[in-house]
Structure 1
């Protein structure tokens, strides 16, 4: 199961090995705002810089940092014993060696494993030998690394129907780690989900937190989403300039124009098109490619 294309592995090694040559000037909040006025969308590293390092790992956060990506997107789930971990799939098969370590535990759902069991898994070798031994991070460890790098977080609540009450659990960890203070909430944190009820729950529990809905609601339905969301974050394949404009004409839950962050855009041509649509942000596995195409 540990297979990675030679092209991607070579690209990763080249970029990360020559980070000093490619590193752009870090973007502060002030420079983000200046870029917005000039029409450049914010760039968000999807699951970290997952084109260059195994997704949702600390290595992917660091790769995003090396490439100058201030914003990092991740996915949060809950283990059997209630620990929040950062992982995209609801099972462990694709990005870990769980089938080798626990061969009798099919279907290897995250919710069926304890945090201690998940911590034993190799979450890096599937991407390339350089990352062998990378682990599935807890949300706490993920936040610590973002803090060390002075990065910002677009946090996705993954499959909330699988984890009743996960919104409270996430907010509890965010609060414990200092991510619900005024400065983090104002400048460095967005919580999003495909689950309407999940986004509403976060809004009800912490009205100050910026929230996003993942998906492409019909234009006629957008006003109902604006009641509880500050962002509408759709797939690139589903949007047009007219759709983006329709979203941005509305004010979201905090009384500011709804923002649009589109995913997952991995090449320069699509990035340029997304910029021409007027999106506020672009989520990408290759944040450097998007930055160079839109900056």
Structure 2
């Protein structure tokens, strides 16, 4: 069986508790606060460049509405079966996106971050890699990257598949082998299996506590995420991935009152299948904490570390680092 190491801290979209997410400032601060990996969600531009945004629809995370020159590009699309109205990265060149500035995605919760609205650009994947390498030298430890392919079936359907440019950038930057400081993640299955046939870099199957992978919808596969967290499902995942990135409620469920229930066997089941377990998402605000840990986010980390998780996705890497 695989030897499991100390838990890693994955900066969820950077130190997004302190800076607008998916910005170089958020990633740099995350590293300074002790993150081992920084996590960019990757989407494609019209000219095929990978950039970091939580979604390809960017009205929630940029100042696009303040750019009248782009007003006519507002449109409605079906993304993974859901109707979305706004502006989409695939309708803009990189040069055009670089004229926009990031803003705080949840200002009602993180009003303190709005002071950075309008100051920070949308970073390319290459710029994020450059930052990780530069900071690795500065802080004297290797900073890993943890990219997510967002909506891979959708991007493939419009001729902007994410996988080839992702692998090309990683190869050009020297990421090679099973021990490279990288994890590539996806909520879909087909693109991870494709990546497994093209690279030996570590892959992560993301698992939500509701719904199903969108490629299962497209392919009329009746299975859901619940089927993938069974022992047989985990064994199947282990055939193409090295880790699972799972909603923390799949490890410790909560009831309708946000009270914690007994932990499941998922961590030990995954370890038995030789899969690492990375849990998401840890946040300090009471809005996101179970009732048991209000005003005490450190207790949540303590619980999950005690259950043997191999990594945590955190908006507040410094809080995670206190208990690592």
Q: Where does the alignment leave 5 or more consecutive residues of structure 2 unmatched?
A: 75-85, 106-112, 137-142, 208-224, 252-262, 284-296
| TM-score (normalizing by structure 1) | 0.79
Which has the larger helix fraction?
1
Q: Where does the alignment leave 5 or more consecutive residues of structure 1 unmatched?
A: 1-32, 251-256
1:149-198 alpha-carbon deviations (Å, 9 max, x no partner): 111111111110121131111001111222x245xx51411111001011
1:5-53 alpha-carbon deviations (Å, 9 max, x no partner): xxxxxxxxxxxxxxxxxxxxxxxxxxxx9xx66xx52111101111111
Match of 1:133 among 116, 119, 132: 119
Query: What is the rounded CA distance, in whole Å, between the counterparts of 2:173 and 2:47 in structure 1?
Result: 20
Give the aligned CA root-mean-square deviation in angstroms. 1.8
Q: Map of 1:1-295 to 2, 5 A cutoff? A: 40-101=6-67, 102-106=70-74, 107-124=86-103, 127-130=113-116, 132-150=118-136, 151-164=143-156, 165-178=161-174, 180-182=175-177, 186-206=179-199, 208-215=200-207, 217-219=228-230, 220-239=232-251, 240-250=263-273, 257-266=274-283, 267-292=297-322, 294-295=323-324
1:248-277 alpha-carbon deviations (Å, 9 max, x no partner): 101xxxxxx210000001222221221122
Retained in 1: the 8 A contact 2:9–2:313?
Answer: yes
| TM-score (normalizing by structure 2) | 0.72
Residue matched to 1:28: none
Task: After TM superposition, give the deviation of residue 225 of structure 1 in Å.
Answer: 0.9
Q: Equivalent residue of 1:122, what SS?
A: coil
Task: After TM superposition, give the deviation of residue 117 of structure 1 in Å.
Answer: 1.2
Retained in 1: the 8 A contact 2:180–2:201?
Answer: no
Retained in 1: the 8 A contact 2:46–2:91?
Answer: yes
Query: What is the rounded CA distance, in whole Å, between the counterparts of 2:166 and 2:62 in structure 1?
Result: 23
For residues 241 and 53 of structure 1, do their structure 2 counterparts lie closer, same or farther at Cα, with a shift above 3 Å needed? same
1:36-74 alpha-carbon deviations (Å, 9 max, x no partner): 66xx52111101111111111100111012112121111
